[in-house]
Amino acid sequence: MDTQVRNHDCATYQNEENIDIKKGPWTAEEDVILAEYVAIHGEGRWNTAARCAGLKRTGKSCRLRWLNYLRPDIRRGNITLQEQLLILELHSRWGNRWSKIAQQLPGRTDNEIKNYWRTRVQKQAKQLKCDVNSKQFRDSMRHIWIPRLIERIQAASRSPTDQSTTYSSYKDNHNDIPPSSEAVQMNDPMIEWMMPEPSRTSSESLETQVSLVSSVTKYQNQPNKQNLYGLYSEEESNRWVEMETLAEESLDSLWNQENIWFLQQQLI
């Protein structure tokens, strides 16, 4: 295979390049050819790579295959709870900037995060009968999903065998988190505390970017402890309660046994 990469007549192939560009799934042989080419010549210059490696693919296709599949530091497996939390947080800040979000999750690709968002998160929005970019959905994410996600991570870190001990008590003490029209601004302190410090670099680990314990502490120390449902009209309050119930019901599908298993493995 190595000789196939090195000895291919690049100039000859250039003359044939438009004859039959291959599309569709990559074969194992193509993977080996591309991986060996990159190992020798490095990343970049993908059109040249496609030609000189003898791959009947476009440069774009080669780049995508390398970045999303062949790269040695690709992280396989389910999105973990911490990663889910970070994705939710970063998306609330940056929107559909998948590559930027992916930079904060080592080993994850923008494609993977994009797929995760579309298949999991947008599904939740659909179940809540609201648009994924709507204020309602952002509210439910910020006030229900993210706190509960943090709670689950905390619970897992406390007791790997007990995943459900504390959120109900947390809710009992924090049923005062209705949305307000001003509360969902991107510079809202409620969002800010969840974000990595601006001075931190993308090379820092996931764990250092999101201090989960301090996050929960800050969240629980929010000054507004009164039942703010009373500040809203009956219709608005009913809508919020309905949305919260729906979110609670649909939330469980966001995490699965694999995530719990992963967390447990981290704690062993």
Can you give the binding site for DNA, defined by CB under 7 A?
A: 22-26, 44-48, 57-61, 63-65, 68-69, 96-100, 110-112, 114-116, 118-120, 123
Alpha helices, DSSP H, located in 146-233:
146-158, 167-173, 189-192, 206-209, 212-220
Tell me which amino acid residue 135 is: K
CA angle 68, 69, 71 (to 5 degrees): 90
Return the number of the residue (32 or 228) whose C-beta is nearest DNA.
32
Cβ pair 117, 79 in contact under 8 A: no
Return the number of the residue (130 or 177) whose C-beta is nearest DNA.
130
Instruction: Give the nearest distance from C-beta 79 to DNA in angstroms.
Output: 8
Identify the burial level of 138 via C-beta atoms within 10 angstroms of its C-beta, where 0-12 means exposed, 13-18 middle and 19 or more buried. Answer: buried
Cβ pair 111, 68 in contact under 8 A: yes
Instruction: Give the nearest distance from C-beta 228 to DNA in angstroms.
Output: 33
Return the number of the residue (99 or 214) whose C-beta is nearest DNA.
99
Rounded distance between C-alpha atoms, residue 75 and residue 106, angstroms = 8
Q: Which of 50, 75, 74, 71 has its CA nearest to residue 61?
A: 50
Instruction: Give the nearest distance from C-beta 201 to DNA in angstroms.
Output: 16
Return the number of the residue (101 or 141) whose C-beta is nearest DNA.
101
Return the number of the residue (4 or 58) whose C-beta is nearest DNA.
58
Instruction: Give the nearest distance from C-beta 257 to DNA in angstroms.
Output: 12
Instruction: Give the nearest distance from C-beta 178 to DNA in angstroms.
Output: 29
